[in-house]
Structures are given as structure tokens and as C-alpha cells.
Structure 1
Amino acid sequence: MSALKWQGWLVGLMGLAGLLVFAPLGLYVWASGGAAVPPPQPDVRVTSCRVDPASHRVAATVEATVGERGEGSYVITVEFRDRRTPGPATRTSQSLVRVPGLAPGSPSYAEAIGPPWPPGATPWCGVAGVETG
């Protein structure tokens, strides 16, 4: 009977040791598992939209500015169309522009190059999306 008594104590002590080791780890995982706050999105606008005379491709200059707490790199999707409001069958071209190291208080500029543009057609350029990257 004394062997059963020692086995009971041993199981109890092993359970207590397991709690002492794994409880803080579990609390750490639980506490750090909160939703991460995404960085604020920059204010992005197209400052110029033109057809390059040499290559006949449409080009857009993009300006990105971020607030006081937003730093980082962003990927901007620029869209090229022949009309400001697209029709139901309008196909658009898109270009990705990466703006690395955007710092608060100073705007960054990037150039988006689109497809070859037909002569006589006026292009429209706009921001289709902004992602962190």
C-alpha cells in the first residue's frame, strides 16, 4: 500500500510541475494572440496621367503621403482606362508600384507605366488599391 501512496504523490507532483512549466507558456500565447493592428493606409493620388511620346505607353505619377504613425512600404495598384466611368464591358489595365520607406511628413513619388496607348485616345489613370508590403 505504501507503493501506491508514493505513486499518487509522484503523479501529483508531475502534474504540478507540468502546470508550472506550461501555464506561463499558455498565458503568453493567449495574451499575445490578439489581433494585430494594421498600419494606417497612406493618402495616395495620381498627380499626372499622360502618354509617353517616345514609347506610346501611358504613364502615371503617383504621390503617397502617410500620417504621423504610419511608416513602411506600400504597394499601390494603378488602373488605366480610356474613360473615367467604365462601362459594363470595359477592360482595364493595371500596374503595381512599390513605394518603399514611406516616412511621415514627406510625400513619396512613383511612376506607374501602363500598356501601349492608341493614338487619339485620352487615358484616365486612378488608384485601384493600396496594400502594405
Structure 2
Amino acid sequence: MSALKWQGWAVGLTVLAGLLVFAPLGLYVWASGEPGAAPPRPAVEDVRVTGCRIDPGSRRVVAAVEVAGRPEGAGAYVVTVEFRESATPDPQDRPAQALVKLPGVAPSATEHAEALGPVWPAGRTPWCGVAAAEFSSGPTPAG
């Protein structure tokens, strides 16, 4: 066989090896979603604090939390609520936080819960806000 024939075989085998390596990768990327499909929105966009008050009996801060369910399906939310003296965070201050769990939030429904914060000093006005939120889709067990 001539050298030119061997080069043809080498090129052909290289192309075949490339297809065997990169074709599955291309199929995976193609099948993983529609081009231009938007990523799911962050769970923190579904949550807001609607009230922040001091309980007169215990002097603890109480934050009213509202969650709007996602239209694509039911799921559970875990919300981290933060309690500070002002809306602007102080980098040297570590604010108090509380977790609120809202299981089984139905699609497009609005659920309410309360987060119980720390005992608040007299004469100071608290600020309550959402620090973080997580959403997990699907049915959630009760309790």
C-alpha cells in the first residue's frame, strides 16, 4: 500500500474516533433542555416578609412571612428570616436568624407563616427580612 492510502485510513479512523467521543456529548447537550430555556427562578423571589412586630408579652420579634406557590407544581419552602436594627446590614454585626418551613405549598396558592426571633431591646424598632429561601418540588410528607 502506498503512503497516501495509509494517510486516508488514518484520517478516516480519526474522524470515526471523534464521532464516537463527541456525538454522545452533543446528544446530551441537545437533550438536556431547549435552547434558550430560562433557568428556574430563585425561591427567594416567591417569598416576602409582610409584617415585623414585637410580641408584647415575650418582647420577641415576630415576622409574618408570605409564600406564593409556583405554577409549575407543589413543593416545600424553607425560608431564612433575618432580624436586624436597620434595613442596611452592618458588616460587623451578626444578625439573628430563624427558619420557617412551609411544606406542601400548592401551585399558585399563597401560604402564610410566622418566624419567631430574639427578645428585642425596649425602645428599638426591629427590621425583618428574607435572608434566603429554598424550594423543593414534589409532594412533601406531613410533619
Output the TM-score relative to the length of structure 1: 0.68
Which has the larger displacement, 51-60 or 80-89? Answer: 80-89
- 1:102 equivalent in alignment to 2:110: no
Select which of 51, 74, 93 maps to 1:48: 51
| Larger Rg over CA atoms | 1
The alpha carbon displacement at 1:67 in A equals 2.7
TM-score between the two structures when normalised by the length of structure 2: 0.63
2:95 to 83, 92, 97: 92
| 8 A contact 1:39–1:70 mirrored in 2 | no
Tell whether 2:128 aligns with 1:128: no
Q: Aligned equivalents of 1:57 and 1:39: distance in 2?
A: 35
For residues 8-23 of structure 1, the aligned pairs below 5 Å read none
Aligned residues: percent identity?
54
Deviations 1:50-108 (A, max 9, x none): 00000000000000002310321110000000111022212200000000111112200
- Count residues in correspondence: 102
Paired position in structure 1 for 2:23? none
CA RMSD across the alignment: 2.3
1:69 maps onto 2:72 in alignment = yes
Gap regions ≥5 residues in structure 2: 1-27, 34-38, 137-143
2:83 corresponds to: 80
